[in-house]
Structure 1
Amino acid sequence: MAAPTVDAAYLVSGVNLGGMSQPAERRPTGRHHGDLRNALLRAALELVGERGPYGFTLAEASRRAGVSVAAPYKHFADRETLLAELATRGYREQRNRFADAVGGSEDPVEQLASFAASYVRFAAEEPALFDIAFHAGLDKSRFAGLASAGDEVAGLLLPVARRLAPDADGASDLLLRVAGAAHGLAVFLRQGLFGAGSGALADTEEKAARTARAIARRP
């Protein structure tokens, strides 16, 4: 993230887009049936889910979306521009989820616990954007919208941490520790270390919440 000192990467990673994580419709004719921009985004997200953020080209995204290889350049200068838009929409989806999570309590400790659990769920439900956030190597200085979306997440969560910290630096440090713990648990879950299925996800959410409480209550 940008200011204060929280990196947006620590507060992230599918995005909704009307079921974006589902495979894009393909047409062998190369003619697209609807919204080209969103079709390309859906196709790219599907490819990221299969191969990682470095595992596809714009040409492959075009073929997956059922359009010509020249079509993406009407909307995206290059592959990184397309990925940056996915990441931006992903940050905004996260902010909405995190806002719902922290809105369930007035206690800042419980708000951070709910944020941590929501972080784990987002990573589990939206693995492709989770990978874009951490492995795509996007230059945030090149994409103002991406940096702004990260700031929105920080702007939501830092005031919560500030209620438990002596100053702004302490709040930033607290939030990073909570997010870092949630991130590690989310990665372990994705690697299968906690099992699979909805039960494993629920257990990991509880682990994240419990860990966040311990961090937040630490002097």
Structure 2
Amino acid sequence: MNPPVKRRPSGRHHGNLRNDLLRAALELVGERGPHGFTLAEASRRAGVSVAAPYKHFADRESLLAELAVQGYRTQRERFAAALAGDDDPVEQLGRFAAAYVRFAAEEPALFDVTFHAGIDKSRFPGLASAGDEVSALLLPVARRLTASDEAAFELLLRVASAAHGLAEFLRQGLFGLPAEALPATESRATTTARTLATT
């Protein structure tokens, strides 16, 4: 009598391989930053062979690019929800700035992949498109407060830059313990955005 044939489980090694690799890579980014791990380490963390990722990703940057797309999509969802809370464009920009800070605090690994990984967007059209979707959501708000598309872009750039700086300061502990300082930092971001939008 022949022994029963052992079959590989169909879960993580087949249908879920891509998601398992993305999850493992995001965990590693959270622990070491976007430049602190290899594709082989992500494979081991996901429980697959070091050759397995190449079924889905050409290299480590391709894996990071997919995570960055997730980062932009998560931002867009958060920002859309924030904008929906008010019809006044000044208040909407304030709510956007606060949501930006909260995204950085609550999704630090996605934030780092999106803004600190140094991914070449020319290699990944989907990444550029995901970023454009965020801009397309926010630019019409700024346009309601400005005389031209160029001025709207500049206003949005100033608001986003201020929110980004506050988010970085928060994460670095410049305002105290980040979890405790988050509400005050959101308030700072909101006030700064309102000021930029009305001057």
| TM-score normalised by L of structure 1 | 0.84
Q: 1:149 to 1:116 in 2, by over 3 A?
A: same
- Give me the CA root mean square deviation: 1.3
Larger Cα-atom Rg: 2
Paired amino acid for 1:110: E
Does the Cα contact within 8 Å between 2:105 and 2:167 map onto a contact in 1? yes
Instruction: Indicate the SS of the match to 2:157.
Output: helix
| Deviation digits for residues 188-208 of structure 1 (CA, Å, limit 9, x no counterpart) | 000001112543111100110
C-alpha separation in 1, matches of 2:181 and 2:117:
27
1:135 aligns with 2:116: yes
C-alpha separation in 2, matches of 1:53 and 1:32:
30
Instruction: Indicate the SS of the match to 1:137.
Output: coil
Aligned to 1:71: 52
Give the alignment partner of residue 94 of structure 1, picking from 75, 96, 116. 75
Instruction: Indicate the SS of the match to 2:57.
Output: coil
Does the Cα contact within 8 Å between 1:110 and 1:213 map onto a contact in 2? yes
Aligned to 1:154: 135
Does the Cα contact within 8 Å between 1:32 and 1:67 map onto a contact in 2? no
Structure 1 residues 25-174: aligned runs within 5 Å? 33-34=11-12, 35-174=16-155
Aligned residue-pair number: 189
1:200 aligns with 2:165: no
Structure 1 runs not aligned, ≥5 long: 1-29
Paired amino acid for 2:126: G
Structure with greater proportional helix content? 2
Structure 2 runs not aligned, ≥5 long: 1-7
| TM-score normalised by L of structure 2 | 0.92
Shift of 1:131: 1.2
Instruction: Indicate the SS of the match to 1:164.
Output: coil
| Deviation digits for residues 148-203 of structure 1 (CA, Å, limit 9, x no counterpart) | 10110000000000000110010000000000000000000000011125431111
C-alpha separation in 2, matches of 1:167 and 1:119:
24
